[in-house]
Structure 1
């Protein structure tokens, strides 16, 4: 699988290409070589433009280019790929000398920019006529979020305007008069307005017909696929058989149905005939589906057909998906809701534009929309190139698989007038198998669309690279074997389903045990983290210079591993894992800022006195805190403190006295910076602290410029930032952060963990190719069921998430050069969590999973003491109050109280949806209950394991799904009885009553025995709950007990 021919083609600068470059294929070097070759033939450097997505990517690519140009002065390399780059760079330097570009001294002429930068450049060339000063683009998410919230509030105020009274009132009623939900709807939709605004409205008018047309196209496309598949499977004999059926909807199907909307019902009848309600092939043929007993031969023949269909899994899925399709037509009630919501959304955009104008700001969405609008304006612009500082002749786009529809629209406008005759080219490079940024609105389907249809008038040739220069042959071969089975067999643009493309290792080096899999029982996070430590130690013993990466799906999955690394004193570099606001130095900076902002902020001043800058002892702190002086600052010269306290307080006083007295003379940032320099000179700070200081000063500066200098704004701006990490060989990061990187050894723990379930969106919408959109609101408070289109969009997003998770695993497993370690937890039932990355590997490692033996733990039997109220803290009996005779008799009772305390703590976390608390927070709760210190560690572990079992359960998403009707720890009274219900909710007009039981599995007890024991113990109690609640809610109910010890929901 040598791809040298494809790499050579990619350097043909007279043609346009889209290149699929899998992991480790040298994508960045290829785009570097193409750019250098174009530059070596260009009239001006500005003729060649490279687009990418992040400033980090811009810096990396520029560094590559400049480094290649500098290498021309060095020795000629011998390796072929380096020699190619060297020769191309030499041509560029010659062109630079001849045309007096002087690129090395003027690197700004190397045009590599982000989409945002290009949009800003286009907009800056055509500013608004009524804006003398260009608006500032908001770069901080906090600032834009605050504006969106303000817009939501302003939108509500329009309720008294007769033009908007009806639509706002209707939307409020639709959302059950919930102001918070109304504001969330506005904020959510404003963030993504570039996706729907121009598509939902045509010439400023709502276009519901386009919504219906989009839905109909989706249905027809699905029927086309179904017909093509059915044509290969269902013979004419099958349709002859249907004529004998006793059901009118089936015996009228005389041949294979067509793909029009009116044919949908026939396809649905065929699906109902062949499939059961749970989506499997039928085994029984009876009168329910139109074949009564007298049709013996026909029934027998249909059974034969059904047996033959057993292996047709693709056909089965396509048939099942008929039930998930959107409605072809918008119902009248839904149309009214959409019209009202659309009018409110349009009003909110108008309110947003008012605030933008008042504050002279804009967000990235606004810049992108204005750039596209500017390129659309044919009256003002005769040639797109005139809108730029230079004329683009060649466009290169890196990581093309991450393009959004709006960004693709911008690309289309840029090359709209390009033709095959004017020698202009486009070069798109990326890897759809590594598309993992759906949360940034990337649309991997665009990659497939361009391969199929090109762009505009251009002819774009498709190339696929196959060589992997990163991983050894063993890793490449195993990844090929795994992902050939995991990835879908064909591309499906709408579902973001991407076929797998095999790679071949450029190296023939093989490694024994290059890929290793270690399964664990669920709840064994500590054992799993200890295994990670063993792997790291063994790896460093084999090669002390190698780089090791621990990659996880979510930052929360690193908690136990970080604790283990710290315990074993292994240095590590945690990349974007520690929130900046949680860093101790940041907390000290916040205290200093609060103190300088307000002399009366007593809490901030006390924190400042305890910080390393003062370090006042507690006894001195007590004296100051109890003083009746107006402010703590004025007490810093008090002679009532200890000798040590006087020295420390005097030091702080002299450091900040000048700053306090200079208020109004200098900016707050200047005063804060001066105070900080007095308290800690730069040479006294670590490298990490210096970076944090710079980040913090930047936040203060933004707040001061925006006139939002208050502690709330400062803290909110710090929330999405991370503390810099110390350099080390062992690196900890998320898989997203690791994309584009490579390491000698890669460890992937927590593969059995599931991700967070998505909450129900108030409006579901999906951008479709060709500037179409599909949209549906959530059901109103008065409606029983979601609309079919809403359910379809929900299903579509679920499928897209499923395929993206698949690609995330591919990204993770292709980072390794020499060794790859996979670790994940299996349920006690032997099943793998369906929403985990391990689910994709379970087939490949089936034997190892089957061989995993459950380990029995010695656990004290469940307490039979009555459930304690969880609204009060329980204080255990002090040992001083127990005499010697009582001690023996009370031992068992104390143990029961311990178990009750454990149950109360687990219930607390379940009530607050906290499934991954820190061990320290659990310890604190046990300390509050008065548990002896020697027992706390083991009880903490049990609590943590029970919570982990719960969050990893396959019923977790359903059980803890956000519903309007959900109530936790709810107190109800009826029949002169009062009960506290752990969790209840209404679904499909059925009241679900859930009781949590933290009982442990007895020693040697089977799961089935445990379940029977729980039913027997609690059935009477939960039936009492049922009687009371059915009397109150007047609804039929279902009962269930959830047992975290076995990760199982027991339906009674």
Structure 2
């Protein structure tokens, strides 16, 4: 038999040439930026492009070799290209598919673990059949690792084993976030932008869950639609953005690279149409519709496609006008200096002509002199021998950089030496986590208060409440909390329930009564909008001909709080309870609203 290869050497050569051009262009842009700032460091520079992809080479070059150049990129850097998000994607995939070898290896290489390549080989080498998780549990392989690698692996193994036991017990976003926290993810955020990227990642998962559209495949596609937030620390003296985003803005210096990039309008629509106003038509809608389909190739194609080609020529002319308008917008953003960058290579006839459908083609009558054969001969057509030697040397010395935490131990993870902005962002993140914990404490307390009221106080004692501690801890861990937070939540709920059982007013609220209901969900129709609203009443009952409506509040209050302060604290909930009271207006009973502050065991009537 014969093996046919589809390898296209010409296409590869074109790609290599294109990459080389874009690299030279990036170097030239950096040269212009530095020269401009050498004259005046306060001058504002903008690099404007037609498409975001035109900036990839420039951003990569700055990230690799010019870290001293700070810039703001407005919807330019794709979130999927940020390392912290790639690590989160790998973690999410690994949690959902134990046999996903690539992503399991990725989480072992991520900063929270940081296994060396040698340790990775000792762990998974020469075994393509077992999953990475199975190999992580093979003690004979684990013992082959270095002492440092073994400690790192055990840290991740313990976290992942516990995490997989909680699958399906909570929302996906909370589950993945909890595992990321336990692995030490926050300590792997090196700048404030990383924190914003992580938040955007989890927000996208939440939206997908709410829409019932979550899958790891869809998540990868959704993340590609998101863009990293601009560097908040970077001054506005250098900005990268699309021409569309630059409308209405002005800069001292504007750089327009990629003028030789085509617009990409080379498709052949199956159907072309045009609305042609009638000469005698007085109405705007008085038009004729001219339609022409695309005809397949054939000997009569020239005759068959006459109308189609005419309509397409009209569309091409409109596109040319639009391209000219966009170029005008870009060029007029500059107040002082405009730099135009484009590349031209000789065609098969040796002629220097720009590509069709490019900005450079529009500008060619003006800039053709800059691309004369004499200047082309003076310019280097390839890398100089010294540059080649230097490039080869760099390739030979290249070693993949491993970024990792010093000691992947959960209690020490938050002690990482990160900059002030990250510490502030993490503090805000932890504050949000504290608010979530406070809300879940309230949720669990409400459930137990409902149970106590339903079963009757005689069935409850301090000993029984204390016996529930383990169950409470498990509930909090099932919500994605680390053990320390789960212990804190369980202790708080225990204290609230004990306070209620020992409080005379708490006992009075929960004792059996006529028409008592707990966690009562009532739907009502809003007269003005016709919308249906749901309200949940914590506890309601009838006492001496009075309908009591009691709302539980688990907010932590000082034990020494006085009656006036309690009354003031309760007043902020009056509007909420008055809405509840309005649901019982037709009963003919007087309605009494009240707030029960669980932390101090006090009932406040409104």
TM-score of the aligned structures, taking structure 2 as reference length = 0.51
Q: Separation in 2 of the partners of 1:793 and 1:747? A: 36
1:749: how far off?
Answer: 2.2
Say if 2:376 is the partner of 1:854: yes
Contact kept? 1:842, 1:849, Cα under 8 Å: no
Equivalent position of 2:150 in the other structure:
646
Quote the offset at 1:713 in angstroms: 1.2
The equivalent position to 2:271 in structure 1, one of 760, 763, 785, is 763
Q: For residue 746 of structure 1, give the secondary structure of its aligned residue in structure 2.
A: strand
- Which residue matches 2:95? 596
Report how far residue 631 of structure 1 moved.
4.5
2:35 to 538, 552, 563: 538
Going from structure 1 to structure 2, the CA distance change for 1:708 and 1:741 (only over 3 Å counts) comes to same
1:743 alignment partner in structure 2? 251
Q: 1:713 to 1:764 in 2, by over 3 A?
A: same
> 2:81 and 2:58 mapped to 1: Cα distance?
18
Q: Does 1:730 align with 2:238?
A: yes
Post-superposition offset of 1:683: 6.5
SS in 2 for 1:669: helix
- 657 and 802 in structure 1: CA distance in 2 versus 1, 3 angstrom threshold: same
Q: Distance in 2 between matches of 1:689 and 1:587?
A: 12
Post-superposition offset of 1:543: 2.1
Deviation (angstroms), 1:595:
0.9
Is 2:295 aligned against 1:779? yes
1:816 aligns with 2:331: no
1:567 corresponds in structure 2 to 65
Contact 1:827-1:833 at 8 Å conserved across structures:
no
In the TM superposition, residue 527 of structure 1 has moved relative to its aligned partner by: 4.9
Distance 1:760 1:658, change over 3 A: same
State whether structure 2 residue 339 is matched by structure 1 residue 835. Answer: no
Q: 1:537 to 1:620 in 2, by over 3 A?
A: closer
Deviation string 1:255-311 (CA, Å, 9 cap, x unpaired) is: xxxxxxxxxxxxxxxxxxxxxxxxxxxxxxxxxxxxxxxxxxxxxxxxxxxxxxxxx
TM-score by length of 1: 0.30
Q: Look up the match of 1:689.
A: 194
Cα 1:830/1:676, change in 2 over 3 Å: same
1:661 aligned to 2:165?
Answer: yes
Q: What residue is the counterpart of 1:8 in the other structure?
A: none
Deviation at 1:934, TM superposition (A): 6.6
Three-state SS of the structure 2 residue aligned to 1:817 is strand
Structural mapping, 1:670-709, within 5 Å? 670-680=174-184, 682=186, 685=189, 686-709=191-214
Pairing partner for 2:306 from 788, 794, 797: 788
Q: 1:45-74: CA deviations, max 9, x gaps? A: xxxxxxxxxxxxxxxxxxxxxxxxxxxxxx
- The root-mean-square deviation of aligned C-alpha atoms, in Å, is 3.6
Partner of 1:753: 261
1:547 corresponds, among 44, 47, 52, to 44
Contact preservation (8 Å) 1:547, 1:745: yes
For the pair 1:633 / 2:138, whether they are aligned, the reply is no
Indicate the SS of the match to 1:577. Answer: coil
Contact preservation (8 Å) 1:574, 1:732: yes
> What SS is found at the alignment partner of 2:338?
strand
Distance (whole Å) between structure 1 residues aligned to residue 342 and residue 131 of structure 2: 55
Check whether the contact 2:112–2:188 (CA below 8 A) recurs between aligned residues.
Answer: no
Question: How far does the alpha carbon of each residue in 1:404-447 deviate from its partner, in whole angstroms, 9 at most, with x for none?
Answer: xxxxxxxxxxxxxxxxxxxxxxxxxxxxxxxxxxxxxxxxxxxx
Q: Could you tell me how far apart the structure 2 residues matched to 1:851 and 1:533 are?
A: 26
Contact 1:575 1:731 in 2 (8 A): yes
Return 588-597 or 548-557, whichever deviates more.
548-557
Quick check: 1:700–1:709 contact (8 Å CA) kept in 2? yes
Deviation at 1:799, TM superposition (A): 0.8
Matches within 5 A, 1:282-431: none
Deviation of 1:857 after TM superposition, in Å, equals 7.4
Contact 2:111/2:188, CA 8 A, preserved across alignment? no
CA distance in 2, matches of 1:536, 1:558: 15
Give ranges in structure 2 of 5+ residues lacking alignment: 1-18, 278-283, 383-387, 397-606
Tell me the secondary structure at the aligned position of residue 358 of structure 2.
coil
Instruction: Evaluate the alpha carbon distance shift between residue 738 and residue 745 of structure 1 in structure 2; reply closer, same or farther with a 3 A threshold.
Output: same
The Cα shift of 1:540 comes to: 1.0
| CA positional deviation for 1:592 | 0.3
Distance across 2 between alignment mates of 1:857 and 1:821:
19
* CA deviation after TM superposition for structure 1 residue 657, in Å: 3.6
Q: Cα distance 1:649–1:936, how it changes in 2: closer, same or farther (>3 A)?
A: closer
Aligned counterparts of 1:601 and 1:752: Cα–Cα separation in 2: 42
Deviations 1:542-581 (A, max 9, x none): 2212321111223343344345544344333333333322
Partner of 1:558: 55
Q: 2:80 is matched with which residue?
A: 581
3-state DSSP of counterpart to 1:821: strand
Mapped partners of 1:797, 1:561: distance in 2: 33
1:143-292 matches, cutoff 5 A: none
**Structure 1 segment 1001-1040 matched on structure 2, within 5 A:** none
Looking at structure 2, the residues matched to 624 and 664 of structure 1 have their Cα atoms a distance apart, in angstroms, of 29
8 Å contact from structure 2 (residues 112, 185) kept in 1: no
SS at match of 1:761: coil
**Total equivalences in the alignment:** 347
Residues 497-512 of structure 1: pairs in structure 2 closer than 5 A? none
In structure 1, the residue matched to 2:315 is 797
- Seen in structure 2, the aligned counterparts of structure 1 residues 935 and 777 have a Cα distance that, compared at 3 Å, is farther
**Aligned partners of 2:128 and 2:36: how far apart in 1?**
61
Q: CA deviation at 1:852?
A: 6.0
Q: Deviations over 1:78-111 (max 9, x none)?
A: xxxxxxxxxxxxxxxxxxxxxxxxxxxxxxxxxx
Inter-partner Cα distance in structure 1 for 2:70 and 2:366? 34
Query: Could you tell me how far apart the structure 1 residues matched to 2:265 and 2:129 are?
Result: 52
Change (3 A) 1:599 1:752: closer
Distance 2:108 2:275 in 1: 55
Q: Which residue of 1 aligns with 2:110?
A: 611
Tell me: CA distance 1:787–1:842, structure 2 relative to 1, closer, same or farther (3 Å).
Answer: closer
- Structure 1 residue 847: Cα displacement: 5.2
